[in-house]
Every structure is written in structure tokens, then in C-alpha cells.
Structure 1
Amino acid sequence: MRHALIFAAGLGERMRPLTDHTPKPLLVAGGKPLIAWHLEKLAAIGVNYVVINTSHLAEQFPDALGDGSRWGLRIRYAYEGPTPLETGGGMLNALPLLGPQPFLAINGDIWTDLDFATLPAEPRGAAHLVMVDNPAHHPQGDFTLDAAGRLHDAGEPKLTFAGVGVYDASVLEGWQALATAGDPARPPRFALAPLLREAMRRGDIDGTHHRGAWTDVGTPERLADLDAQLR
């Protein structure tokens, strides 16, 4: 696993007014942008090539991060246009830059102490997802992890998807049925979750339960709390 994708294209609507002038992954916690924590961890495990999806205030990313050389990385930017393509469309849009091999994908607006070196180099099937205990703002969870390490859409107790996973490009098979109709010149826009659920029904998604620190930085209050913890 030498390539990684960071989702950084969201509008950050719940983070306003902070995101009126700064993309959410570039907001600072613990003295550095959220996305810089990911870049440091990726470089530490030997990832050398990172694709960053961008849309909202996209021009700020190369200004802030450059070509990645300060971390020993090579960064490429996959611009999605003025309207983000959601997780599935964003991944599909980035695939030509990522290449055919499995890749690690991370949400740009989370923070975690997860050691990325513990993740598999490639998934057993279509994807390997990191799960965490349900946070207060998402008590219903997302998926169930069984004793064999397989993930299921049904069942209890559910855990929350951490926004970290190792993917094979095959996870996107069948995306055409989900794509939003619109300008044919634009890349398609669709969510990844329905494809993950379909793959789970085939027994094609596994995962791990991370019991350490994890924050979905979805509100200014959570950003402030994280900043205080990291400092």
C-alpha cells in the first residue's frame, strides 16, 4: 500500500463561519492543519504518493501543502469542480491518479491516533474499514463487525465507520446505477455507502475495531475540544 487518497472536497457547512474562508481539512488543531496530521502518519508508514480530492476553496490546498516534499510525499490534486462529487464520485474521479493498486483512503476532517501501519496492505475483498465506538452525535452507528472480522449492514451492536479504509478499485463496481443525472461533461456524483452495503451482502467487506482516540471534526465546538486535547 504505497498510495493514499484524502477526501478534502466537502463544503464544511456545519463548520461555518470557520469554513467560509478555510476548507475544513486545513483548519488547525494542535498547532497544525487537520490534513497535516494525516500526511505525517502516511509518510511514517512508507506511503509516498497521496491524491487529495478538492472542491471548496480548492486553491488553498496547493498553497498550504505544496507538492508534499516537506513530508517526503508526492501530492497530486483531484479537483471535483465547484460542487463536491460525494465519496463515491470523488473516489471514482481520483482513480486515474491513484492507479490500479489498492489504496488507503481517509476523510480529511477526522483526527485519530490509529497507527496506519496496523492496516492491511490490501483488503481481503473490496474494502477493509476501520470502525470506532459510536460517538455521542452518531449513537445509532453504521455497521456490525462479526467475530470473523466481516462487516454487515444489519444486526447489533453497530459501530461507527471511522472514515479510514483500505480499498480495492472493485468496490466501485456498479456505480453507474447510483450516479446523479446532470451535466454529462461533469464527473458523476454519488455516495459510496450503498456500494459498501451491497458488497457487505456478498461478504466482501471486512474491518477492525479501533478503540483509541478518534474525532469527527464536524462542528466548531468539536474542533475546539480537539485543539485543547492536542495542546
Structure 2
Amino acid sequence: MKAMILAAGLGTRMRPLTEHTPKPLLPVAGKPLLEYHIERLVAAGISELVINVSHLGQQIIDYCGDGSQWGASIQFSAEPEPLETAGGIVQALPLLGDEPFLVVNGDIWTDYPFERLCERRLARAGAHLVMVANPAQHPQGDFLLDDQGLLQERPQGRIGLTFSGIGLYSAEFFAELSEAKTALRPLFMAAIQRGRLAGEFYEGAWQDIGTPERLAELNEALAASK
């Protein structure tokens, strides 16, 4: 299995930290966020990686090189301007191949065991998303998870779960898209209608590093845990 790390965002909410450093290279406990993902993916047996880059992307390319320092093989998908999540994945499909692949946001911190997704089987043109408890900044969540392990649209007034930014996708899931700036949510909603969007709830460590304050909180928490 191959994996893609999403690292092409502008990091607007993280300014001024991201004015000179791309968000995935911001340090957590002395190590870039991106490096945690690479290490955990390789430990899970996933060593063929694709990283999309845009804002200050050359810094990421220079830092990672070919990935051999981690026992990985890394290829890069360069975007002249960020294509959003689905658009970035579509551009990278030639590097990802025809088999199901894992995608993880480069701006989250988690101890999720990626090997769990290696054992999943997908419905044709389907996807499987890792859901987490709702953080303070997103109290209503994104989707409901039913007893059959399928994700459902969250009705107004209902509280669901939050998409973690970790998912397993079939290449067919993106078959109808062309290379253009495109968000993932419309694809998720269409897959829900077809009964092709599965999910699981993960109760372990997860944090969206979306602001300097959240990054500082994570660094403080990890320092205290040591």
C-alpha cells in the first residue's frame, strides 16, 4: 500500500509561523509534524509515500529528500497553487497507482496505528474515514457513524463525529474528477448517497494543529507527559 501526506496548504491560520516555514515542518517536541507521519507510516509497513507541496514546498522537498533516511521512498506532487484536498489527490493519482491508498493530513498530530487501514477492504469506488471526538473548535462534528460502520449525513441539530484527516481511498473514488481545485466534502456526500463511505471511531490521541495556540498547547502537553 502507498500513502499520501497532504502538505500543500498555505497555513493561513498559522501565521506568522507559516510565513517562512510550511506548516508540516513546524516543530512538535523538537521534530517536524511531517516527520512523525513518515516514521509512523514506515513503522506500519507503508514505505512508498507521496507528498504534495505548494506553499514553501521546496523546504519540504529539501528536508525529506528521497526518504531513505527513514527507510521510505518519497515522491513529490508539486502544485503551483494549492488544489485543495481532492484536487491535490487527483493530481497525484499517477504516483499513487490503482490500488487503495492511505491519505493523512500533514497538519495533524496523532498516534493512530496506520497498519489498521492496511487490513481494511473497500467497497468499489469507496472510502473509509477515521473519525474522532469533536474538538472544541468543531463541536458539532461532520458525519454520523451508524451501527453498520457507514457514515451518514449529520442532520441539523444532531452531533456527529469529526473527520480526522486520515482515510483509505480507492482510486475509483476520484474517477469522475479532473485536475482542478476541488474539496473532498462533495465527494463524501455523493459517496454517502451510494452507501460507499465507511468509517471507524478512534479514541486515541489526535489534534488538529490549526493555530499557533493549538501548536503551543500540544508542545506543552507533550513536554508535561515526559
Query: Do the two structures share a fold, i.e. TM-score over 0.5?
Result: yes
- Correspondence list, 1:176-191, <5 A: 176=178, 187-191=179-183
Q: Distance in 1 between matches of 2:53 and 2:167?
A: 19
- Correspondence list, 1:60-139, <5 A: 60-81=59-80, 83-125=81-123, 126-139=126-139
Deviation at 1:63, TM superposition (A): 1.2
Q: Distance in 1 between matches of 2:102 and 2:136?
A: 27
Instruction: Percent identity, please.
Output: 53
The count of aligned residue pairs is 219
Which of residues 195, 203, 210 in structure 2 aligns to 1:218?
210
Deviation at 1:173, TM superposition (A): 3.2
- CA 1:5–1:222 in 2, change beyond 3 Å: closer, same or farther? same
Question: Gapped runs of 5+ residues in structure 2?
Answer: none
Q: Distance in 1 between matches of 2:121 and 2:11?
A: 30
Contact 2:128 2:168 in 1 (8 A): yes
Question: Gapped runs of 5+ residues in structure 1?
Answer: 177-186
Deviation at 1:122, TM superposition (A): 4.4
Q: Distance in 2 between matches of 1:170 and 1:136?
A: 34
State the partner residue of 1:182: none
Which of residues 207, 217, 220 in structure 2 aligns to 1:228?
220
Secondary structure of 1:222's counterpart equals helix
- Correspondence list, 1:138-149, <5 A: 138-149=138-149
Contact 2:104 2:165 in 1 (8 A): yes
Deviation at 1:172, TM superposition (A): 1.2
Deviation at 1:24, TM superposition (A): 0.2
Computed over aligned residues only, the root mean square deviation of the Cα atoms, in angstroms, reads 1.2
Q: Does 1:208 align with 2:210?
A: no
Q: Distance in 2 between matches of 1:51 and 1:33?
A: 17
TM-score (normalised: structure 2): 0.93
